[in-house]
Amino acid sequence: MRALVTGCAGFIGSHLAESLLGGGHAVLGVDCFNDNYGRAQKLRNLRHVQDWDSFEFVPIDLSRGDLLELVNGTDVVFHLAAEPGVRSSWGSRFEKYLDNNVLATQHLLEALKSRPDVRLVYASSSSVYGNAEMRPTPEDAPTRPRSPYGQTKLSAELLCSLYRENYGLDLVSLRFFTVFGPRHRPDMAFHIFSRAALENRPITIFGDGRQTRDFTYVTDVVAAMEAAASARLLDDERVYNVGGGAPTSLRDALDLITDIAGKHLDVRYVGPEDGDVRDTQADTSRARRQLGFAPATSLEDGLAAEFEWLARIVQEEQA
């Protein structure tokens, strides 16, 4: 199989590309190195795949230009390229969210009109639900994003549905619930908490810390994406929740990081941020049934792996 992985230098994309290569597949990776966080970490992510003979990298901005050449010769497309982050989606950066989440997806779908035999696996987000009234939240729950980020992810997901209905494209969307693990983006909570513990700095929590998240380890997400690439799907089941299955409060997660770090953490609580939701919990019964999805990594083990990874990075930075 030859796979196109967009956003291959990112957190999830680099893990997916590495897994595909390890499984004997060829990977064409694309990334535009957008400025949402440092280029150095993205280049570090690419170290895990760039030495494979079956890996090819193309630096390209999907929101600009014709993408026909990218999809030609491709068997499956994993579309992870995006402008991430709830809090930064307000204000002056919103145009980047439109470009990288909506326009880039539309350009890719236009290119795939000539390749209806190619399946596209789109990386969506639990942010499309907003403050869900039902938990666990099934895929047919109302979508009410509470942030510009969530709105652009939902818009791209709806574009996928439109192109499938009108042009017969083979598309599937996976709604990820709070992914974490090694190579975590520096703006994400567990990265921030772990780095603060390693550098003996205070930790700021927005809200009271009792808000819960359905934390999902990155390799479980990768397994779901690979399964979605080849599974036989029902026409009316093209959206799947991917969650860890054990919602946990931030306070409880901090307790785990405290144990892993082996030191007291200076935690300070401030008011909640605009766009943040109170609780998330995925109903993953559809993914279990159709994709064979079964989370394999506990929150404690995943946090330990992320902490160990970040400790090495901090040591390199301080050398």
- Give me the domain span that covers residue 220: 2-177+216-243+282-295
Q: Which of 149, 163, 217, 240 is catalytic?
A: 149
Per DSSP bridges, beta strands 248-249 and 212-213 are: antiparallel
Residue 313 domain-assigned (yes or no) = no
Residue 265 domain-assigned (yes or no) = no
Residue 256 domain-assigned (yes or no) = no
Give residue for tokens 């974490």: 180
Contacts of 154 (CB under 8 A, 6+ apart): 124, 128, 143, 145
- The tens place of each residue's pLDDT in the chain, 319 residues long, gives 999 999 999 999 999 999 999 999 999 999 999 888 888 999 999 999 999 999 999 999 999 978 999 999 999 999 999 999 998 999 999 999 999 999 999 999 999 999 999 999 999 999 999 999 999 999 999 999 999 999 999 999 999 999 999 999 999 999 999 999 999 999 999 999 999 999 999 999 999 999 999 999 999 999 999 999 999 998 888 999 999 999 999 999 999 999 999 999 999 999 988 888 999 999 999 999 999 999 999 999 999 999 999 999 999 888 7
Give the chain's domain count: 1
Residue 55 domain-assigned (yes or no) = yes
Q: How many CB atoms lie within 10 A of CB 90?
A: 16
> pLDDT for 210-231, tens place per residue?
999 999 999 999 999 999 999 9
Residue 119 domain-assigned (yes or no) = yes
Residue 197 domain-assigned (yes or no) = no
CATH number of domain containing 161: 3.40.50.720
For the question of residue 163 being annotated catalytic, the response is: no
Residue 14 domain-assigned (yes or no) = yes
pTM above 0.95, yes or no: yes
Residue 201 domain-assigned (yes or no) = no
